[in-house]
Amino acid sequence: MRRSALTCVALVWMGLSLNCHRPPQPVTQSRAEYYQARLDSIARARTALLRDLRKYERRWAVRGPTNYQFRLHPGCYCDAKPAADIAVQRGTIVEIRDTAGRILPDSIRLHYAYTIPKLFEQIRSELSNDNFTVMARFDRKFGFPVYIATDNVHIWDGGYTLAVTGFRTLSVEK
């Protein structure tokens, strides 16, 4: 058993060392062709996401409640923000609390001013900006975005994520 393992290691090492002495293989794709292929791939993904966005916005328009609550988990390479619970009635944010139940101060509330339609707008806005790549996943029942990830193609730490969990409908007191 030990001998076969050593033989394997020796064969792998010999194979690697033999590859090192082989002349370099010709490049089949120029740098310009590579970047054009990458841009084409990003464009196809953008088109597919825009199609999905329209589909799930329609689903939200038909099935989505006007009174709901969810937890928003923002993520960023910069200063990470904690999760917050957002309550919406008749399409308007009525309450934003931290996960301990405390109402957030106005200075922080701005980072959480999202209703579900605002999340759709955020995706659409990022899709219209060629400097960003965007990925999104949607809830199959109601259609709302459950995860959004963006990345600025020019800045290594220029992206962010938004995740929605704990979505539930609310009844309105009259």
Q: For the residues of 57-100, what is the DSSP string, one character each?
A: HHHHHHH--SSEEEEEEEEESSSPPPPEEEEEETTEEEEEEETT
Sign of CA dihedral 63, 67, 73, 74: positive
| pLDDT tens-place string over residues 4-24 | 443 333 333 334 444 445 566
User: What 3-state DSSP class applies to 148?
Assistant: strand
**Per-residue pLDDT, 150:** 92
Rg value, the chain, Cα = 24
φ and ψ at residue 147, rounded to 5 degrees: -155, 130
Pairing of strands 92-98, 145-152: unpaired
Query: What pTM was computed for the model?
Result: 0.76
**Per-residue pLDDT, 73:** 93
List, for the chain, all residue ranges whose pLDDT scores fall below the cut of 70. 1-27, 80, 173-174
Are the beta carbons of 86 and 70 closer than 8 angstroms?
Answer: yes
d(CA 101, CA 96) in angstroms, rounded, equals: 9
Please name which of 109, 121, 127 lies closest in space to residue 42, comparing C-alpha atoms: 127
**Per-residue pLDDT, 22:** 58
At 114, which amino acid appears? Y
Angle ∠(81,82,87) on CA atoms, nearest 5: 110
